[in-house]
Structure 1
Amino acid sequence: MLDLASALSAFMTRIAGAGDLTALARLSGGANMESWAFDWDGAAYVLRRAPSADYMADRPYGHADEAALVIAAHDAGVKAPEVVGVLADSDGMGTGYVMRRVIAEVNPALILASPPPTLLADLGRELARIHAIPRATIPAAIPLMDTAAALAELKARFVAYGGDRPAIALAIKWCEDHLPAAADPVLVHGDYRMGNIMVDADGLAVVLDWELAHRGDAHEDLAFGCMTVWRFGRLDKPAFGVGSLEEYFAAYAAAGGTPVDRARFRFWLIYRTLWWALGCLQMGQAWRSGADTTVERVVVGRRTAEQELDLIALLEAEAPEAERASPLPPSPPFAPAPTGEPTNREMVQAVRDWLNDEIKPKAEGHGKFQVAVAMNALGIVMRDCDARTRAEDKALAEALLSGATTLAEPGLLATLRRAVLDKCAVDSPKYAALAAARAAWSGSE
């Protein structure tokens, strides 16, 4: 078993000179990579690593190229982390790199509760700086995104995952029909959103998580942080949950960004919502295959319901006005509750209560996070025991994907609305957009 403290001490001695390793602790979260905070000789650092090369097998480039890109961004004046060293095979810690740690707030809920006055302007400025990073400094391994090919790959994955989710099929078809012309490529961060930035009293402090960076359309980055899911309940503020799109676009342009094309922005808002819906489904596939058997994987896999809800909200404008005004059909009635032996729901409830009462109070650090994830998973199962509507409808999905059925079909939009509302109520009942959609589509239920 790896003695991380000893291996990391040897690495830091090699790159920074003799010192003492203290306060080594795994940071909460990190669904894709491990992040470890530590102090070396009194200075704060973060190790970002994958335990083995297998974790990086499906990625277009490895940690060495990722680190080189972060260094290029930092050198270009972007608020990127300062990389101090890259792991070698001989270090025995897998792949990764060490950065100086920025002490600032990363929790979106805390940031959005009281954002610094300059934050939206900072976000627009920093994105313009990212898009202006000189092409010559971008590592050759950073790929160029072909939007048509990427969409075709999403479609192939959807079919491989069963091809039975109508909201996703509708979005794929819409994207195929509205594919924009190729844009002059810039460096795209690929994950520019709340949760991947840190903020202090002066505003934006650092931009994190560069693993999805590629060359492509600047509008992809512009749209990603404006997705409903990344606004963390601030539905009235479409730009990052902080402010208006007009303010955001103006800040981006003032820092040298190109003028925003609203139609192109809308395409990328829908595309990236679709992308994340399939990304969530992919989490479940990773668990099934044994590639990643953490509970977090299966829980995130159920967040597909959030994106399906958002996709219908984004695409309902394509339906005739009369269909948008149609009332929701009722959910199917509940089955009568058994009165004999304990039901599956009651057994899951018992385990969940045990975790909450006996295990959670004693857990610490990443272990406490894992207990919370496990409890969330059991909560989903409990609600699923009562589920009245399923998200899967292969025949309808195939008809939407082929274009044989559209939102002009009488009653279809209402049916899709009902399905995504009921599914999201099972998988993510606290998702802010769920309550908003209920109010918009039916009044309070």
Structure 2
Amino acid sequence: MARTDGHVPDGATEITTGQANRLWYIGGREPYVLKHYSDPARAANEAAALTLLTDHHSPVPRLLDADMEGRPAWTAQSAVQAQPVPADQFLDDLADPLAAVHAIGGTHFGRLAGATRHPTWRAYLHDRLNLYTATAPDFAAAAAALRRDLDRVNLDIKPRLLHHDLQPGHLVRTTDGLRLLLDWELAVFGGPMSDRARLAVRLRLPSPQALPAHRATPADRQRLDLYWRLHCLADATLATDPEIRAHALFSLLAHPGRALRPADRD
């Protein structure tokens, strides 16, 4: 790959699909993908995640270069010749690569880089609730209910790597059948069940219990439901897409144990 300075070279093809960042495919003898980030912390986190995954021989794009101080912050990643896994095969194809990811341990809870490290999973989740309340004070009642529920469940776990943005399009399959997870900027160390809950939100399932599960205990189902509510609250307070925010609010309103804004109560 020719040395990159984060600028978009002539002939680059934009392949942006989301709202927060911009991506370009740069061809040549050693093609690569250039990614510009709206938040430098996300760039640092994705770079750290790709480095960790490569160290564990996981099938992910290689981090070729990066600059967190750039304006904007950017990474250059090896180009992957692959296609998104079809929706009807997504859950089956996700199982093995996700299990491999969850087998990777960490030394703390929370983002890998660019953010506060937490000594416990509970502390990290409480910190997220603080962010949601600060961003959208009208949801303080919902956050308070989740805080109470967090303190009632056993969250004493060892930190494991989570993708934390699972959705169709982020899992691709190469021509030789290799499956890769893309877009690691939201990766955290935490409880693997949180990945399942976030996936249920992204798939717009009525409940996380709709996902296939094996040997789930009542305690597992309780934690899964708790994480699902947390991710719905995150979308209701932080999502920039109005449709995503509206769906998250609807999901919280439909939840049997809802506790939302005073204006939402009868």
State TM-score, norm by structure 1: 0.48
Q: Secondary structure at the match of 1:182?
A: coil
1:68-123 Cα distance to aligned partner (Å, 9 max, x none): 4302213323221122222375xx653221112223233x7xx21x42xxx54442
Q: Give the RMSD, CA atoms, in angstroms.
A: 3.9
Listed as ranges, the matches of 1:348-367 within 5 Å are none
Q: Is the 8 A contact 1:191 1:213 kept in 2?
A: yes
* Pair 1:105 & 2:105 matched: no
* Of 198, 202, 213, the match for 1:245: 213
Q: Secondary structure at the match of 2:74?
A: strand
* Of 209, 231, 238, the match for 1:275: 231
What's the CA shift for 1:43? 3.8
* Of 129, 132, 138, the match for 1:163: 138
* Pair 1:67 & 2:47 matched: yes
2:102 equivalent in structure 1:
131
Q: Secondary structure at the match of 2:12?
A: strand
Q: Is the 8 A contact 1:145 1:215 kept in 2?
A: no
Q: Separation in 1 of the partners of 2:206 and 2:253? A: 19
Q: Secondary structure at the match of 1:123?
A: helix
Taking a change above 3 Å as real, the CA distance of residues 219 and 394 of structure 1, as seen in their structure-2 partners, is same
Q: Separation in 2 of the partners of 1:278 and 1:88? A: 25
What's the CA shift for 1:135? 4.6
2:244 equivalent in structure 1:
303
Taking a change above 3 Å as real, the CA distance of residues 48 and 36 of structure 1, as seen in their structure-2 partners, is same
Taking a change above 3 Å as real, the CA distance of residues 232 and 304 of structure 1, as seen in their structure-2 partners, is closer
Q: Secondary structure at the match of 1:245?
A: coil
Identity of aligned residues (%): 22
Q: Structure 2, unaligned stretches of length 5 or more?
A: none
Taking a change above 3 Å as real, the CA distance of residues 23 and 281 of structure 1, as seen in their structure-2 partners, is same
Taking a change above 3 Å as real, the CA distance of residues 131 and 311 of structure 1, as seen in their structure-2 partners, is same
Taking a change above 3 Å as real, the CA distance of residues 159 and 43 of structure 1, as seen in their structure-2 partners, is closer
1:348-402 Cα distance to aligned partner (Å, 9 max, x none): xxxxxxxxxxxxxxxxxxxxxxxxxxxxxxxxxxxxxxxxxxxx842666xxxxx
Q: Is the 8 A contact 2:198 2:228 kept in 1?
A: yes
Listed as ranges, the matches of 1:20-35 within 5 Å are 23-35=11-23
* Pair 1:264 & 2:239 matched: no
Q: Secondary structure at the match of 1:303?
A: helix
Q: Separation in 2 of the partners of 1:233 and 1:393? A: 23
1:147-202 Cα distance to aligned partner (Å, 9 max, x none): 43344334434544232587x35852663354333112222222233232223566
1:135-156 Cα distance to aligned partner (Å, 9 max, x none): 58xx974834734334433443
Q: Secondary structure at the match of 1:47?
A: strand
* Structure with bigger gyration radius: 1
Q: Separation in 2 of the partners of 1:64 and 1:86? A: 8
Q: Is the 8 A contact 1:163 1:169 kept in 2?
A: no
Q: Is the 8 A contact 2:16 2:24 kept in 1?
A: no
Higher strand proportion (structure 1 or 2): 2
Q: Is the 8 A contact 1:36 1:46 kept in 2?
A: yes
Higher helix proportion (structure 1 or 2): 1
* Pair 1:45 & 2:32 matched: yes
Q: Is the 8 A contact 1:270 1:311 kept in 2?
A: no
Q: Secondary structure at the match of 1:105?
A: strand
Q: Is the 8 A contact 1:280 1:301 kept in 2?
A: no
Listed as ranges, the matches of 1:376-395 within 5 Å are 393-394=261-262
What's the CA shift for 1:212? 1.8
What amino acid maps onto 1:66 in structure 2? E
2:202 equivalent in structure 1:
230
Taking a change above 3 Å as real, the CA distance of residues 395 and 235 of structure 1, as seen in their structure-2 partners, is closer
2:61 equivalent in structure 1:
81
Q: Is the 8 A contact 1:190 1:212 kept in 2?
A: yes
Listed as ranges, the matches of 1:192-203 within 5 Å are 192-200=166-174
What amino acid maps onto 1:311 in structure 2? L
What amino acid maps onto 1:305 in structure 2? A
Taking a change above 3 Å as real, the CA distance of residues 188 and 76 of structure 1, as seen in their structure-2 partners, is same
Q: Structure 1, unaligned stretches of length 5 or more?
A: 1-11, 16-20, 247-258, 284-296, 320-391, 398-414, 416-445
